[in-house]
């Protein structure tokens, strides 16, 4: 069924209002779609971690190995004079369901007193370097001297 213009179409005020409203709505929806796309996840405040020099501590991050994503240390790199990476490993969920998320556990040694930041990026290893990570996590680490 073809749309037929009413005889009053070019001059009719209600027709002009409807046409302008439809065009305005289309423009708003087009620009709203652009505004909702985020290239980079929002910056989250750093979570606090306190440790004593010589102590080993872990950070567990939610992860799903079946999606191809994994956690990487991101910039800024932690100060190696304060904290050193020991290992990272993926731990499958307790219930072995297909596609169920597990966690990636990072182990660090608190080496010497001081402060540093641990920044993590959740990305796929084959993604281009300029592709923003799907998620970011930050930890502010404070290492105290042994008592």
pLDDT recorded at residue 117: 95
Q: What is the CATH code of the structural domain delimited by 47-144? A: 2.60.40.2020
Q: Where are the domains of the chain?
A: 7-37, 47-144
Determine if the pTM surpasses 0.95.
no
pLDDT for residue 97: 78
| pLDDT single digits (tens) 85-106 | 999 999 988 877 777 889 999 9
DSSP string covering 91-147, please? E--SS--TT--EEEEEEEEE-SSEEEEEEEEEE-TTS-TTSPPSEEEEEEEEEEPP-
């Amino acid at each position: 069924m073809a749309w037929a213009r009413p005889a009053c179409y070019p001059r009719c005020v209600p027709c002009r209002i409807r046409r302008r409203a439809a065009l305005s709505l289309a423009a708003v929806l087009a620009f709203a779609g652009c505004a909702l796309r985020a290239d980079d996840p929002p910056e989250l405040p750093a979570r606090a971690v306190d440790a004593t020099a010589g102590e080993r501590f872990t950070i567990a991050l939610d992860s799903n190995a079946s999606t191809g994503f994994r956690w990487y240390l991101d910039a800024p790199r932690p100060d190696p004079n304060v904290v050193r990476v020991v290992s990272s490993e993926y731990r499958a969920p307790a219930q072995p369901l297909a596609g169920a998320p597990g966690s990636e556990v990072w182990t660090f040694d608190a080496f010497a007193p001081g402060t540093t930041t641990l920044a993590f990026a959740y990305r796929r290893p084959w993604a281009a370097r300029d592709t923003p990570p799907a998620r970011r996590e930050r930890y502010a680490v404070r290492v105290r001297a042994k008592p």
